[in-house]
Amino acid sequence: MPLYWFLGPLAGLLGVGCYALVGSRRPRSDAIVYGISFLCSVLALGASLTHLLTAPAASTLTLPLGLPWSGVHLRVDALSAFFLVIVNLGGAVTSWYGLGHGRHEQAPERVLPFFPAFLAAMNLVLLADDAFTFLLTWEFMSLMSWALVMAHHRQAGNAHAGYVYLLMAGMGTMALLLAFGVLAGADGGYHFADMRAGLLSQQAAALVLVLTLVGAGSKAGLFPLHVWLPLAHPAAPSHVSALMSGVMTKVAVYGFMRIVFDLLGEPAWWWGAVVLALGAVTAVLGVLYALMQHDLKRLLAYHTVENIGIIFIGLGLALAFQANYLNDGAALALSAALFHVFNHSLFKSLLFLGSGSVLSATGERDMERLGGLIHRMPWTALAFLIGSAAISALPPLNGFVSEWLTFQAILISPELPQWLLKFLVPAVGAALALSAALAGACFVKAFGITFLGRPRTPAAAQAEETDTRSLTALFVLAALCVLAGILPGLVIDALAPVVASLNGAVRLAAQASQPWLTLVPLAEAKNSYNGMLVLLFIVFSGFLSALLIHRLASRDARRGSAWDCGFPDDNPAGQYTAGSFAQPIRRMFGSVVFQARERVDMPAPGDLRPARMTVSLRDPAWDYGYLPLIQVVNTVAGRLNHLQFLTVRRYLTLVFSALILLLLGLAIWR
């Protein structure tokens, strides 16, 4: 598929963004903006899917824009085509959702211009083929998403979220800028082809790895660079949260893969160890953070951190395998990571859109004030349930397949010769298993407290089902979750060109030819999984038992009040809440990780005030990372403050001595 097929949709997105700058106050402008965004995303989705499935040679294009001596280089190859599919699928679904959901927007002029521009920016990052274009579009993407985060800037906390996001994004871009600088070397070849051809010393390559981990990792949400993510993602309007969490983090993963797997050349084994360790810590801490949240959207945002950890575990394994020339293992690990990228973009978008429907129906994000929504919003509840089951890695849905593949990759890793890896990989496997189990608990809580039980507030009791357009978007994503779960072989075959392009032409065996479309990643181990049959068996035995019982035994049902051991409580406040659901896990893990402390304030006998329990949690990333850093910066700034109040004489002396020092340095260095 030639590249200019993408230029039309991109021009459309940018154009409708410009229109919205002037026309967003007009009636029906939201329909125009989201409609055109939807059309453009579908066109770009078609183009990228065609490119991915037919796997032609990379197509390039140079536009006479940008820097006069280089121009803007664009290129689409298998890797960018795969991520283009994810971006445009997410873009199409969220635009469609926006067609229904956009009516609820209070300040459309703060959302409509930036939404299509954000989509275009993400597309452009994936198409960029030189460092200048990449950084420019990356920063454009950050700024557009920042503008969307600030859309509701008067709500408490959103301004702070935007500020933290802007700082972290700026730091990340700086790290990427330095990484590209090291990659380009002294000759300054900023075209990606030059970087691919260039040879780096080991130290320089290690420096690039670290800078990329900071730059792309902060955008993706690697611990401890994740701190902006749970603040900023929930602050944006819900369909934008879905894009930021489900899609933009994947663009960051793309940045990491493009630099480390494509441009940087052959990896050293310890790169794998570093990425694996980071991924494992991120996965476990991400889900623990998520379990402690009561805000539905913030819980989802923290859960993104966990999934990014799982993706980076797959990438780290791939690096370790590649460094030891075990390309079959690397193909498996890469497929697992890419499959999880795809899955996460599906179910996280689904869950954020679902939480958006809940938010617009009730005006509440706090789970402690929801409940019982399954009665009032049955379809939203069903879609959210499918998303929750998929993200908790339950068979036969798609989340399980990518975790299964990651486990399979871990199981062949005793072949790795390095001792550190031999100790690290089993621990990473345990961490992955732990995070999968905790994710189940997390989503029992998220779905159970929000949708089940009895309504805890009048707002929840009077919620109305969301509109049909939003529901269509939810069910498209839910259907894709089921399909990717029962036909994983097709997804893996579609991923194979991407894997081959990053892995010295080694890929997994074609899966579509397996009998019954069974998934058999490595032929010699004969490990197989067939989601379709598992689903069929469950449906069959479920229906069979239901039929038999209804025919032969009883089918009577009567409604009565709840049993509750004989003392049913009419007050819905007596139900289990999000806080009480997470209390056992908070005691088990939180007392160590978050220094969780419970303080009970019990009034004396005869005193009529209510007893109170307060829970305090501390965030290790802020406590040990950012707050000391902020303190150091403040101290240094305070010390340097008096430099602002010197006389002209002193300033001249300073300038002169700085010049001499620099010249001296130059003389010594030469």
Binding residues among 492-531 for another protein as defined by CB under 8 A: 518, 525-530
Looking at the Cβ atoms of 4 and 423, the one nearer to another protein is: 423
Q: How far is the CB of 273 from another protein (least distance, A)?
A: 14
CB of 441 to another protein, least distance (A): 4
Q: Whole-number minimum distance, CB 368 to another protein, in Å?
A: 13
* Cβ neighbour number for residue 548 with a 10 Å cutoff: 10
Residue type, 271: W
Interaction between residue 410 and another protein (CB under 8 A)? yes
Segment lying near another protein (by CB under 8 A), choices 140-148, 433-441, 617-625, 662-670: 433-441
Residues β-bridged to residue 184 = none
Determine, following the binding rule CB under 8 A, whether residue 449 of this chain makes contact with another protein. Answer: yes
**611 and 601 Cβ atoms separated by less than 8 Å:** yes
Asked if 545 interacts with another protein (CB under 8 A), we say yes
Report in angstroms how near the CB of residue 186 gets to another protein at its nearest. Answer: 43
| One-letter amino acid of 178 | L
3-state secondary structure string, 449-491? HHHCCCCCCHHHHCCCCCCHHHHHHHHHHHHHHHHHHHCHHHH
Q: Which stretch binds another protein (CB under 8 A): 42-50, 86-94, 431-439, 647-655?
A: 431-439
Residue 417: CB minimum distance to another protein, A: 11
Q: How far is the CB of 434 from another protein (least distance, A)?
A: 5
- 450 closest CA partner among 359, 539, 335: 359
Radius of gyration of the CA atoms of the chain, in A: 26
* Sequence letter at residue 574: G
Alpha helices for 266-397 (secondary structure H): 269-291, 296-323, 327-362, 373-376, 378-391
> What is the SS3 assignment for 278?
helix
Backbone phi and psi for residue 482, each to the nearest 5 degrees, phi listed first = -65, -45
Single out the residue of 248, 230, 36 nearest to residue 140, CA to CA. Answer: 248
Instruction: For another protein, give the closer residue by CB, 116 or 354.
Output: 354
Residue that the structure tokens 């493009």 belong to:
258
Q: Which of 436, 477, 486, 491 binds another protein (CB under 8 A)?
A: 436
Contact 425, 339 (CB under 8 A): no
Could you give the CA distance from residue 479 to residue 487 in angstroms, rounded to a whole number? 12
- Quote the least distance from Cβ 346 to another protein, whole Å: 18
Q: Is 362 in the site for another protein (CB under 8 A)?
A: no
Q: Does 425 bind another protein (CB under 8 A)?
A: yes
Nearer to another protein, 437 or 658 (CB): 437
* Distance separating alpha carbons of residues 502 and 504, to the nearest angstrom: 6
Q: Are 4 and 43 in contact (CB under 8 A)?
A: no
CB of 125 or CB of 284, closer to another protein = 284
* Closest distance of CB 377 from another protein, Å: 11
* Minimum gap (Å) between residue 384 Cβ and another protein: 12
Q: Which of 66, 185, 265, 440 binds another protein (CB under 8 A)?
A: 440
- Measured CA to CA in angstroms, residue 477 lies from 197, 405, 451 at distances of 40, 22, 19
Does the bond joining 224 to the residue before it have cis omega, within 30 degrees of 0?
yes
* 315 to 334: interface string for another protein, x by CB under 8 A: --------------------
Q: Is 422 in the site for another protein (CB under 8 A)?
A: yes
For residues 81 and 291, which CB has a smaller minimum distance to another protein in the complex?
A: 291
Q: Report yes or no: 519 and 529 within 8 Å, Cβ to Cβ.
A: yes
Shortest distance (Å) from residue 453 CB to another protein: 3
User: Which residues in the 246-285 window bind another protein by CB under 8 A?
Assistant: none
Q: Decide whether 12 or 429 has the Cβ nearer to another protein.
A: 429
- Within residues 451-470, the interface with another protein by CB under 8 A covers 452-454
Instruction: Compute the distance between CA of residue 420 and CA of residue 417 in angstroms, rounded to an integer.
Output: 9
Query: By CB under 8 A, is residue 294 in contact with another protein?
Result: no
Rounded-to-integer distance, Cα 323 and Cα 522, Å: 20
CB of 86 to another protein, least distance (A): 25
Choose the stretch contacting another protein; rule: CB under 8 A; options: 80-88, 97-105, 220-228, 368-376: 368-376
User: Judged by CB, which is closer to another protein: 554, or 647?
Assistant: 554
Structure tokens at 588: 């088990």
Binding segment for another protein (CB under 8 A), chosen from 214-222, 293-301, 353-361, 392-400, is 392-400
Query: Cβ(455)–Cβ(461) under 8 Å?
Result: yes
- Least distance from C-beta 256 to another protein, angstroms? 27
Of 426 and 504, the one with the shorter C-beta distance to another protein is 426
DSSP string, 152-165: GTTSTTHHHHHHHH
End-to-end CA distance of the chain: 51
State in angstroms the smallest separation of the CB of 540 from another protein.
8
User: How many Cβ atoms are within 10 Å of 129's Cβ, its own excluded?
Assistant: 22
Q: In the complex, what is the shortest distance from the CB of residue 451 to another protein, in angstroms, rounded to a whole number?
A: 8
- Closer residue to another protein in complex, CB, 113/372: 372
Rule CB under 8 A: choose which of 433, 505, 643, 658 binds another protein.
433
- Indicate which single residue of 2, 170, 414, 458 sits in contact with another protein (rule: CB under 8 A): 414
Q: Is 111 exposed, middle or buried (0-12, 13-18, 19+ CB in 10 A)?
A: buried
SS3 614: strand
- Which stretch in 38-46, 170-178, 220-228, 427-435 sits in contact with another protein by CB under 8 A? 427-435
Question: In this structure, how many other beta carbons lie within 10 angstroms of the beta carbon of residue 653?
Answer: 12
Neighbours of 65 (CB within 10 A): 9
Verify binding: residue 174, another protein, rule CB under 8 A.
Answer: no
Residue 538 or 630: which CB sits closer to another protein? 538
Minimum distance from CB of 500 to another protein (Å)? Answer: 25
| Number of residues in contact with another protein under rule CB under 8 A | 86
In this structure, are residues 325 and 299 in contact, taking their beta carbons and an 8 Å threshold? no
In the block, which residue shows the tokens 């139900």?
Answer: 575
For CA atoms 387, 392, 396, 401, give the dihedral sign.
positive
Indicate whether 60 belongs to the interface with another protein (CB under 8 A): no
Tell me the closest approach of the beta carbon of residue 474 to another protein, in angstroms.
17
Residues 6+ apart with CB under 8 A from 409: 314, 317, 318, 321, 329, 332, 333, 336
Report if residue 485 touches another protein, rule: CB under 8 A.
no
Q: How many residues are there in the chain? A: 670
- 379 counts as binding another protein under rule CB under 8 A: no
Binding residues for another protein restricted to 550-609, rule: CB under 8 A = 553-554, 556-565, 568-569, 572, 574-576, 580-585, 587-588
Nearer to another protein, 84 or 288 (CB): 288
What is the nearest approach in angstroms of another protein to the Cβ of residue 152?
A: 31
Q: Of 170, 363, 378, 504, which lies in the binding site for another protein, with binding defined by CB under 8 A?
A: 378
Nearer to another protein, 569 or 623 (CB): 569
Q: What is the dihedral of CA 629, 634, 639, 641, to 10 degrees?
A: 140
